[in-house]
A and B are shown apart, each in its own frame.
Chain A
Amino acid sequence: MDDACYEVLGRSRRGEPLRHVGTLRAPSDALARAYARWLYDEERWLDLAVVRRVHLLGVDGAGEA
């Protein structure tokens, strides 16, 4: 799996779920944060987070395909 790949998660408003808004590749966590801010600037996010794709662990077989 591509360990430089990050998933980007955002929450627009209080009370709403954190949802998947996109992906990006970055050579470090710091650059991943910076790229997410510039790439996914379509909203003023209440929360915006990045997580390495390799850290998403499938449960009960889900996500292992």
Chain B
Amino acid sequence: MTSPLAERIQAGFMVESLADTDDAYRRALRETLIVSGDTEFVSAAVLWTALDRAPSLNSQMSLLAVIQDELGHAHIAYRLLADLGEDVEALVYGRAARQFKNPYAFDFALRSWSELAAVNGLFDRAGYTLLGDIHRHTSFGPWKRALAKVAKEENFHIRHGETWIARLAADPATRPEMQATVDWMFPAALEFFGLPDSLKHRQLQLEYRIKGHGNDALRQQWLATAVPFLTSCGLRVPAHHDAARGEWVLDFPFPCAFDADVRRYDFTRPVEWTAVLERWKARGPDCGWFVDVLTRGRGLFGVARG
């Protein structure tokens, strides 16, 4: 049963203010913006953990530029939430770390520069796929306009990641580590897109065109650029294009068991999505201190807001 607003939106209506919305629209938009804001916010802490792995002054500066961008993107999502009436102070500073809605893969500190390269080349590509879809299709005008900046900058992050992945994969000395990184971060990136469409009950985000495509289509879009790139670097990737089906196919059971201690997906142990949801809910090893690092300075010097 679609609402009158959903029908207008399907016919091309753009939402510009709260007065245009109904309760269900606001709930769907709020949820999507919180996931976006939290993901960008926490990613800044994740990236920070690679600063002491940067192989040169230039690469350190590039990484700092990426961190600055991610905080700027979080700012955009949280600003939009504030304009929707959300108490953003409480949202950012009042929640426990485990309540942040970032993807599971951003609950891990980076151990190497190759992991930083994969964050930029694979995870930011997932972010770009998800936000690019919103940029092109969303019915919420203020977000559509704000995402012009985000798309430009995430594109730079992906190029940064690709440059380093290609470089580390080309050198025999660093290639095994780059391959081992891709082995766990490739499936982890696929999890960014969430449950398959077949397991989703009602897709308010699509009815209200908060975003344009479902999880399955967006996962395919990601595969369509990630797999050819990684393969061109000579890296092994557990996925291929099936010309007869006209889609990208994974060469391993998805989802499958993951050992967070050694960061390894076990392709011999398929699991149900309920097990994945439990793993996500239990959170990864570095979830707590990431949020602490980002929020502990609140209120210093009497500056509580702005």
Contact status A39-B306, CB under 8 Å: no
Tell me the nearest residue of chain B to A28, going by C-beta: B306
Q: Are B153 and A42 in contact (CB-based, < 8 A)?
A: yes
Task: Assess whether A24 is in contact with B145, with CB atoms less than 8 Å apart.
Answer: no
Say whether A40 contacts B306, CB under 8 Å.
Answer: no
Chain A residues near B19 (CB-CB < 8 A):
65
CB-based contact B149/A42 at 8 Å: yes
User: B225 an interface residue at 8 Å Cβ cutoff?
Assistant: no
Interface size in chain B (residues, C-beta < 8 A): 19
Asked if B17 CB lies within 8 Å of chain A CBs, one says yes
Q: Is the CB of B79 within 8 A of A23?
A: yes
Q: What chain A residues lie within 8 Å of B18 (beta carbons)?
A: 65
Residues of chain A in range 8-59 having any CB-CB distance to chain B below 8 Å: 20-27, 31, 38-43
Interface residues on A, range: 10 to 19
Nearest B residue to A42, CB-CB: B149
Contact B306 A38 (CB under 8 A): no
| Structural contact, B79 and A24, CB atoms closer than 8 A | yes
Q: How far is the CB of A43 from chain B (nearest CB, A)?
A: 8
B247 at the interface (CB under 8 A from A): no
Closest approach, in angstroms, between the C-beta of A56 and any C-beta of chain B? 13
Residue from the list A20, A22, A23, A27 in contact with B306, Cβ < 8 A: A27
Closest residue of chain B to A23 (Cβ to Cβ) is: B79
Q: Are B75 and A24 in contact (CB under 8 A)?
A: yes
Kindly identify, within residues 153 to 176 of chain B, every residue whose CB is under 8 Å from any CB belonging to chain A.
153
Residue of B nearest to A32 (CB): B306
Are B75 and A39 interface neighbours, CB within 8 A?
yes
Chain B interface SS verdict (over half): helix
A4 to B152, CA, bound (A): 28
A39-B75, A42-B152 given; A4·B305 CB < 8 A: yes
Closest to B65 in A: A41
Q: Restricting to B63-90, which residues have a CB under 8 Å from any CB of A?
A: 68, 72, 75-76, 79, 82-83
Q: Which residues of B contact A39 (CB under 8 A)?
A: 72, 75
| Interface members, chain B 232-276 (any A CB < 8 Å) | none
Residue contact B149 to A25, C-beta cutoff 8 Å: no
Interface residue B146 (Cβ < 8 Å from any Cβ of A): yes
Chain A residues lying within 8 Å of B75, measured Cβ to Cβ, are 24, 39
Contact A22 B146 (CB under 8 A): yes
Residue ID in chain B nearest A31 by CB atoms: B306
Q: How far is the CA of A31 from the CA of B17 in the complex (A)?
A: 27
**Beta-carbon contact of B149 and A40 below 8 Å:** yes
How far, in angstroms, from A42 to B306 measured CA to CA in the complex?
21
Q: How far is the CA of A64 from the CA of B305 in the complex (A)?
A: 26
- Among B17, B83, B145, B305, the residue within 8 A (CB) of A20 is B145
B72 proximity list for chain A (CB < 8 A): 38-41
Collect the chain B residues with CB atoms within 8 Å of residue A40's CB. Answer: 72, 149
Q: Whose C-beta in chain B lies nearest to the C-beta of A27?
A: B306
When A and B form their complex, which 7 residue pairs have the shortest distance between CB atoms, in order from nearest?
A65-B19, A27-B306, A42-B149, A25-B306, A26-B306, A42-B152, A39-B72
